[in-house]
Structure 1
Amino acid sequence: MSRCLALLSLCVLLAACTNINQENYSKLKAGMTKAEVEQLLGKPGECSGALGFSSCTWGDEKAFISVQYAGDKVLMFSGQGLK
């Protein structure tokens, strides 16, 4: 029982330490490089793209940040469910 409680506590702590939050979202700026965004948010969970444009997403369906790139630079970004 104590192992289950310890594991649950660890999961809650890890969830609270996410980079996907309003504070980091407010630091995003058009023109930032992919490296700068990844330094701020970490590695994205998902990326796709074609013809020099790409889109990467951090988070899950409840809280996420999505960044669209033209080449290596942020073109626009959006977020939902951020605290």
Structure 2
Amino acid sequence: MSLRSLALLSLCAVLTACSKINQENYSKLKAGMSKAEVEQLIGTPTECAGAFGMSSCTWGDEKSFISVQYAADKVLMYSGQGLK
């Protein structure tokens, strides 16, 4: 294995280990938190959509994700899948 391949593999492992999309951060989510508090905890969402004061944001991918639903920028409910 070349040095370049080893460095790339190491970087990928570090980035995966440092993901904020994990069970520890998921357990810190609470109903009523502001959108800013959630983003401070788990970062910028992968995608968001909404209308009429309601929105839904998702962090992660189809295998491992956290989804948060907001009403007036306050957490209404949340769910997660594949978290470690």
Q: TM-score range by the shorter chain?
A: over 0.9
Deviations 1:4-43 (A, max 9, x none): 1101110111011000011100000000000000000000
What does residue 55 of structure 1 align with? 56
Counterpart-to-counterpart distance in 2, 1:73 and 1:55: 11
Calculate the TM-score normalised by the size of structure 2. 0.96
Q: Which runs of 5+ in 1 are unaligned?
A: none
Aligned alpha-carbon RMSD (Å):
0.6
| Most deviating of 31-40 and 7-16 | 7-16
What does residue 67 of structure 1 align with? 68
Count the aligned residue pairs.
83
Q: Which runs of 5+ in 2 are unaligned?
A: none
Counterpart-to-counterpart distance in 1, 2:10 and 2:25: 24
Of all paired residues, the percent bearing the same amino acid is 78
What does residue 37 of structure 1 align with? 38
Calculate the TM-score normalised by the size of structure 1. 0.97
